[in-house]
């Protein structure tokens, strides 16, 4: 697993900011991503038609601030959960993601035993589209978010220092490659470049919540 750290210099005054965020990525195997992409594209129209946007259509957050609009699959991100899908490949993905989370914590020597809830959705981008800068959570219970590449053509996801977005020159670029799974703190802003390929760019995204908080 490749680890990337956003770490500040040691503060020299009582009021200087400090941060230390770690994200990890690696490739998951033994998944038929062609089948995964086919399932998503087959479900896409019905999900958009039958499920409401996560927020009101005129709400800027109807698509999670991604810029994809209220008619996108992304705008339904709160209305379904890919980890509940019964298809064999999605059940295998669920197991892989859960195990990846355990490995990530182990590499960081973190013990965290509170019950968790995994909530996932699909993003489908077509030629000329991109995902604008957004983040998944910035509150006392913020935990981890994730991103899995299913189908792509020469795109990248960019991760930004959440504390010093305006002045920090460090932006971590991660090339989108099929099978690459990334875990990152939900407070890290991220975006993509413009998708220029002829086929859809398909990714799965998810948030990991404290179960007690999600069920409130």
Give me the pLDDT at residue 61, please: 63
Q: Would the pTM of this model clear 0.85, i.e. be above it?
A: yes
8: in domain? no
182: in domain? yes
Give me the pLDDT at residue 42, please: 97
CA distances from 205 to 15, 111, 149 (A): 35, 24, 9
Structure tokens at 19: 């941060």
Give me the pLDDT at residue 53, please: 82
Give me the pLDDT at residue 112, please: 94
3: in domain? no
Distance CA 115, CA 96 (A): 18
Nearest to 194 by CA among 146, 151, 148, 156: 156
Along the chain (216 residues), what's the average pLDDT of each consecutive run of 10 residues?
91 91 96 98 96 67 84 93 97 97 97 96 97 92 97 94 74 95 96 95 97 85
Structure tokens at 81: 């959960």
Q: Are 44 and 36 in contact (CB under 8 A)?
A: no
The neighbour count for residue 44, using CB atoms within 10 Å, is 17
202: in domain? yes
Domain boundaries, position 47 = 23-214
116: in domain? yes
77: in domain? yes
Q: Which helix (H) or strand (E) holds 100?
A: helix 88-107
Give me the pLDDT at residue 216, please: 75
Handedness of CA 171, 55, 125, 195 (dihedral sign): negative
Supply the CATH number for residue 28's domain: 2.60.120.620
């Amino acid at each position: 697993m490749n680890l990337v750290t956003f770490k500040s210099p040691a503060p020299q005054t009582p009021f200087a900011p400090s941060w230390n965020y770690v994200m990890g990525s690696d490739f998951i195997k033994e998944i038929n991503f062609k089948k995964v992409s086919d399932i998503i594209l087959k479900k896409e129209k019905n999900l958009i038609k039958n499920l409401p946007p996560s927020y009101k259509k005129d709400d800027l957050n109807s698509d999670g601030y991604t810029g994809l609009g209220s008619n996108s699959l992304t705008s339904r991100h709160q209305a379904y959960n890919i980890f509940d899908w019964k298809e064999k490949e999605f059940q295998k993905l669920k197991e892989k993601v859960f195990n990846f989370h355990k490995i990530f914590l182990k590499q960081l020597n973190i013990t965290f035993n509170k019950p968790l809830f995994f909530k996932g959705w699909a993003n489908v981008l077509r030629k000329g589209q991109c995902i604008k800068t957004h983040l998944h959570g910035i509150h006392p219970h913020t935990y981890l978010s994730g991103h899995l590449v299913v189908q792509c053509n020469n795109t990248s996801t960019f991760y930004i220092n959440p504390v010093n977005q305006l002045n920090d020159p460090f932006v971590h670029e991660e090339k989108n490659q099929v099978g690459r799974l990334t875990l990152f703190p939900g407070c890290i802003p991220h975006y993509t470049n413009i998708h220029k390929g002829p086929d859809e760019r398909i990714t799965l995204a998810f948030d990991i919540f404290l179960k007690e908080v999600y069920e409130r």
